[in-house]
């Protein structure tokens, strides 16, 4: 940020109503001063904790951690762990092409194409646990399309698991690969 100052509203900004006679909002505090004030008043906790409902990025971060661990611990199988770009944000025209190419709603986030223990492979859906504003532990759950896809692949001899933490992923992979 320029001069380490927070954004100041422009004349076109809704916060700056010069023409209507409403007060103009101007923040002359530095970023550090604002952060200090927020932490002193207890209103800055949201900036440093996971107290909000998780977004796609929360699951994405978990998935990246798990893939990184897998590739480091199992380099001989690294090519056999694949992701599916179902959560990717693309333009409508690109989405139509992906759907025509076979992108299917509900497919698991990761696929380990290694046969073990009588299964053809392992399908892994990433979900997160989080703490809500009241401090209660919450979980994200599968969508109906994900449950339907799970039933379909299990009927065909694949193992399907939902993972919420890196530790669960490590335990699952270690147990599956034996």
Q: Which CATH number fits domain 56-177: 3.40.1350.10, 3.40.50.800, 3.40.50.300, 2.40.30.170?
A: 3.40.1350.10
Which of 125, 87, 124 lies closest to 104 in space, CA to CA? Answer: 87
- Residues constituting the chain: 178
In the chain, which residues fall in CATH 3.40.1350.10? 56-177
Contacts of 160 (CB under 8 A, 6+ apart): 108, 122, 123, 124, 125, 150, 153, 154
Alpha-carbon span 130 to 132, nearest angstrom: 6
The Cα angle at residue 55 between residues 53 and 60, in degrees rounded to 5 = 135
In angstroms, what is the C-alpha Rg of the chain? Answer: 23
Environment class of residue 35 by beta-carbon count within 10 Å: exposed (0-12), middle (13-18) or buried (19+)?
middle
β pairing state of 129-131 and 81-83: unpaired
Opening angle at CA 141, ends 137 and 143, nearest 5: 160
| pLDDT tens over the chain, length 178 residues | 445 555 555 555 444 444 444 444 445 666 666 666 666 655 444 444 444 444 446 788 999 999 999 999 999 999 999 998 887 788 999 989 998 999 999 999 999 999 999 999 999 999 988 777 888 888 888 999 999 999 999 999 999 999 999 999 999 999 999 9
Distance CA 155, CA 138 (A): 30
């Amino acid at each position: 940020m320029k001069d380490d100052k927070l954004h100041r509203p422009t004349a076109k900004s809704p916060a700056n109503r010069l023409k209507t006679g409403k007060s103009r909002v101007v923040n002359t505090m530095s970023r550090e001063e604002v952060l200090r004030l927020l932490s002193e008043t207890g209103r800055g906790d949201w900036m440093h904790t996971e107290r909000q409902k998780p977004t796609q990025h929360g699951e994405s971060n978990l998935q990246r951690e798990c893939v990184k661990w897998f590739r480091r611990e199992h380099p001989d199988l690294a090519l056999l762990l694949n992701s599916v770009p179902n959560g990717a944000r693309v333009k409508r025209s690109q989405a139509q092409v992906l759907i025509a190419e076979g992108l299917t709603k509900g497919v698991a986030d990761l696929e380990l194409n290694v046969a073990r223990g009588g299964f053809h492979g392992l399908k892994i859906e990433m979900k997160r646990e989080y703490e809500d504003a009241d401090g209660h532990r919450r979980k994200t759950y599968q969508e109906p399309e994900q449950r339907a896809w799970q039933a379909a692949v299990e009927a065909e001899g694949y193992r399907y698991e939902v993972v919420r933490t890196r530790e669960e992923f490590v335990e699952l992979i270690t147990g599956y690969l034996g």
